Every structure is written in structure tokens, then in C-alpha cells.
Amino acid sequence: MADFVIQTVLWFVFFWVAHKIIEGHIQTRIKAKNELIKEIMDKTHIVKAENHGEMIYWFEVNNDSFVAQGKNMSELIQHCKLRYPPTHHFLIIEGEKVIFKVSAPDWMPVPVDLKT
């Protein structure tokens, strides 16, 4: 009877330790994934364009913060080059649809055609 109790306790401890090791590994991977998502989202700007007279203004969709201004796309891109490091990406939306993406190294607006 004592052997049965000792074996049961040992198996319980074994499975508990294995569970804790696996749980720790999963939590580490979830934390790393969330940090990567945050880093990508911090470097990706979803912007909407507003026209006021001859000027075009870009504002972040999420918080309406100012991104850039210019009379044409090249001036807007030049402003972004000066203000943001080359690791940042810009998605320009119209309504609910992404119409252009702009990012380093060439900083050229590329039309986006998302087939749904």
C-alpha cells in the first residue's frame, strides 16, 4: 500500500512539473508574439487623406493624429521621410478600402488591390 501511495505522489509531481514547464514555454511564446505584434503595429500607420483647398493632410485612422501634409503625393511622402524612420509603413485608405501603401526603401506609392 505504501508503494502505491509513493508511486502516485511521484507521478503527480512528475506531471505537475511537466505541466509547469510546458505552461511556461507557452506563456513565453505568447508574450513574444504579442511584443512582435505591438512592434509591427507601432511601425504601421493607417492614414486617411483630407483635402482642404490645395493642401492634402494625412491623419492616423486610429487616433486622428497628424501624419503629413503636402500639395501632392510626393510632398506627403517627403514629409514622412523626414518625420519617420525607414522602418515605418503607411497604408492610405479611402472609405474602408486600402488604396495605396508607401514604405522604404523606394517610398513610392504602390496601388493595393485586395481581392475579397
What's 61's DSSP letter? T
* Assigned domain for 14 exists: no
Helical H runs in 44-114?
Answer: 73-83
Number of domains in the chain: 1
Instruction: Assess whether pLDDT exceeds 70 at residue 116.
Output: no
* Assigned domain for 26 exists: no
* Assigned domain for 78 exists: yes
* Assigned domain for 64 exists: yes
- Report how far apart, in Å, the C-alpha atoms of 67 and of each of 17, 46, 63, 101 are: 51, 10, 11, 14
Instruction: Assess whether pLDDT exceeds 80 at residue 82.
Output: yes
* Assigned domain for 58 exists: yes
* Assigned domain for 34 exists: no
User: What's the rounded mean pLDDT across residues 72-94?
Assistant: 89
pLDDT on residue 106: 80
User: For 60, phi and psi rounded to 5 degrees?
Assistant: -65, 135
In terms of Cβ atoms closer than 10 Å to its own Cβ (0-12, 13-18, 19+), residue 47 is buried
Least confident of 46-50, 89-93, 104-108: 104-108
* Assigned domain for 77 exists: yes
- Residue 63: which domain range? 45-111
* Assigned domain for 30 exists: no
Instruction: Assess whether pLDDT exceeds 60 at residue 24.
Output: yes
Q: Is the whole model's pTM more than 0.85, yes or no?
A: no
User: What's the rounded mean pLDDT across residues 59-76?
Assistant: 91
User: What's the rounded mean pLDDT across residues 47-70?
Assistant: 92
